[in-house]
Amino acid sequence: MESDLRSIGELARDSGLSVSALRFYDGADVLAPARVDPRTGYRWYAPEQLADARLLARLRRVGLPLADVRAVLGAAPGGDTARRLLDAHLRRLEDGLADARRELSLIRRLIDQRENPMTATPVEHRCTVPARALAEALDAVRFAVGSDPELPVLSGVLFDLDGGLLRLVATDRYRMALAEVPVEAPAADASAAAIVPTALADALRALLGSGSGAGTAELVLDGTAVGVAVDGHRIEGVALDHDYPDYRALIRLDPVRRVGLSAADLREAVASAPTRTLPSGPDGAACEVAVLAVDEAGRLTVAAPARAADASDPSDASDPSDASDPSDASDPSDASDPSGSAALRVAVNRDFLLEALAAGAPGQLVLELGGPIAPLAIRAPEHPGTFSVLMPVRLPA
C-alpha cells in the first residue's frame, strides 16, 4: 500500500545514507525508488528496500566500486556473485594496505634524508637469490624495456625488493612485463628499489650465463646503485636517478574472461593471422594489429580488425578450416567467424604479442581479457609471479 512507503528522508534516516546519496544511487540505477510523484518528483521507497539501502550504506563505507555495488545488489539469491566480488575487493584493500605501508616506509627515509642531508647515507640492502631464477626473470622482462629518449625513467629494469620477493619490472607504456624471484632467507622489512639501466641489465644477464646452474647471486641495492656477485665475479653500476611509475595497479587486473591454451598454438595463430595497419598509442605510430576474439563458449580466434566493408567476412580468421571441432576451447584457430559472434574482442599490437610470447613460458598459458579498452594479461600457471600486460589498440569506429 502507498501508505507503507517511506519518504526519501525517512529512508535516509533509517539506512544511514544521506538524501543526496539516495538521489545519486537512483540516477546511477543502483537503488531506484518504488514510486516517484509525477507532479513533485518526490521519491518514495517500499518497506523491503530498507534492507538494500542498509547493505548499500555498508558497501559504500568499504569503498566498493559502483559497478560492483550494482552487481551485488542485483545478484540472484543463492549464487556466489556477491561473495566473489566482495572477496576480490578485500584482496584489493589488502594489497593497497601493503602498498601504503611500503610507500610510507620510503617516505620516512626521504624525510630523514631531507632533514639530515649531510649525514644521511643510502640504506644498503643485501639479499641472495637463485642465479637461474634471476636469469629467467631478466629474460622474461627485457623485451618490454622502453627506448624513448623522452622517457629515460623507462630505459631500464626496475629491481624492487619487497621482503621475500624481488620483482623485476619493465615497461614502455604500451606493455609491461613483471617477474618475481624468491629471496633466500629474507628480512621481513627489507624494502629497496633501483632502476637498473638497460646496458647494466644486459651485462648482468651475460654474467649469469646460461642460468642452468644451481648457484646463487648476491644482490646489493641501496636506491642509488646496484651490485651483483655470481661465482666470484662481480658487476656493479649506478642506478637511474628517477622515480619509477607505480606498476602495482596493473598487476591487480579484474578480467572478464580467462582462456587457457598452449603458447605454441597461440604463437602459430598470431603469426599466421592476417593483420591491419592502424595507429597505436598517443604518438600515432602505425603498427600491425590483430584481434583476439573470444566467443560465449570460450573459444579464441585471432583475426585482423574488420573494415566497415568486410565486417561480415569470415576469411579474416586465422584458420577457419579447423572450425569443425567446436569442443576444443583451447585452439585459437577454431572459431570460423570472429567478426560478429565474439562475446569479447581485444585488438593488440601483433609484434608486441609475439615478443611477449617468445619471452614467456613455453607451455600452457592463460589469457586474461577485460574488454576492448582494458589491458590484456598473459600468464603462465606454472610461474604465477611472471606475466606480461599489453595495452589494447583502439579500433576505429
Higher per-residue confidence, 249 vs 171:
171
- The residue segments making up the domain with residue 36 are 2-74
pLDDT for position 283: 61
The residue from 238, 266, 299 where one domain ends is 238
Residues 159 and 230 both lie in one domain? yes
pLDDT at 267 over 70: yes
Residues 209 and 265 both lie in one domain? no
Mean pLDDT within 299-309? 72
pTM: predicted TM-score of the whole model, two decimal places = 0.67
Residues 185 and 228 both lie in one domain? yes
In the chain, the number of structural domains is 3
Which stretch, 95-99, 161-165, 211-215, has highest mean pLDDT? Answer: 161-165
Residues 262 and 192 both lie in one domain? no
**139 domain-assigned:** yes
**223 domain-assigned:** yes
Taking only the tens place, the pLDDT of each residue in 34-74 is 999 988 889 999 999 999 999 999 999 899 988 899 999 98
The residue from 215, 238, 261 where one domain ends is 238
What is the total residue count of the chain?
397
Mean pLDDT within 273-297? 80
Q: What's the rounded Cα separation, in Å, for the pair 291 and 383? A: 26
Residues 260 and 190 both lie in one domain? no
pLDDT at 331 over 60: no
pLDDT for position 175: 92
Residues 159 and 67 both lie in one domain? no
**396 domain-assigned:** no
CATH at 25: 1.10.1660.10
**174 domain-assigned:** yes
**68 domain-assigned:** yes
The mean predicted confidence, pLDDT, of the chain is 81
3-state secondary structure the chain: CHHHCEEHHHHHHHHCCCHHHHHHHHHCCCCCCCEECCCCCCEEECCCHHHHHHHHHHHHHCCCCHHHHHHHHHCCCCCCHHHHHHHHHHHHHHHHHHHHHHHHHHHHHHHHHHHCCCCCCCCCEEEEEEHHHHHHHHHHHHHHCCCCCCCHHHCEEEEEEECCEEEEEEECCCEEEEEEEECECCCCCCEEEEEEEHHHHHHHHHHHCCCCCCCEEEEEECCCEEEEEECCEEEEEECECCCCCCCHHHHCCCCCEEEEEEHHHHHHHHHHCCCEEEEECCCCEEEEEEEEEECCCCCEEEECCCCHHHCCCHHHECCHHHCCCCCCCCCCECCCCCCCCCCEEEEEEHHHHHHHHHHCCCCEEEEEECCCCCCEEEEECCEEEEEEEECCCCCCC
**90 domain-assigned:** no
pLDDT for position 186: 64
pLDDT for position 345: 86
**Rounded to 5°, angle at Cα 52 from 50 and 54:** 70
The residue from 55, 74, 93 where one domain ends is 74
**283 domain-assigned:** yes
Confidence band, pLDDT 50/70/90 cuts, at residue 341: low
Confidence band, pLDDT 50/70/90 cuts, at residue 352: very high
CATH at 146: 3.10.150.10
Lowest mean pLDDT among 125-139, 210-224, 302-316, 352-366: 302-316
Residues 269 and 383 both lie in one domain? yes
Confidence band, pLDDT 50/70/90 cuts, at residue 123: low
pLDDT for position 328: 38
**144 domain-assigned:** yes
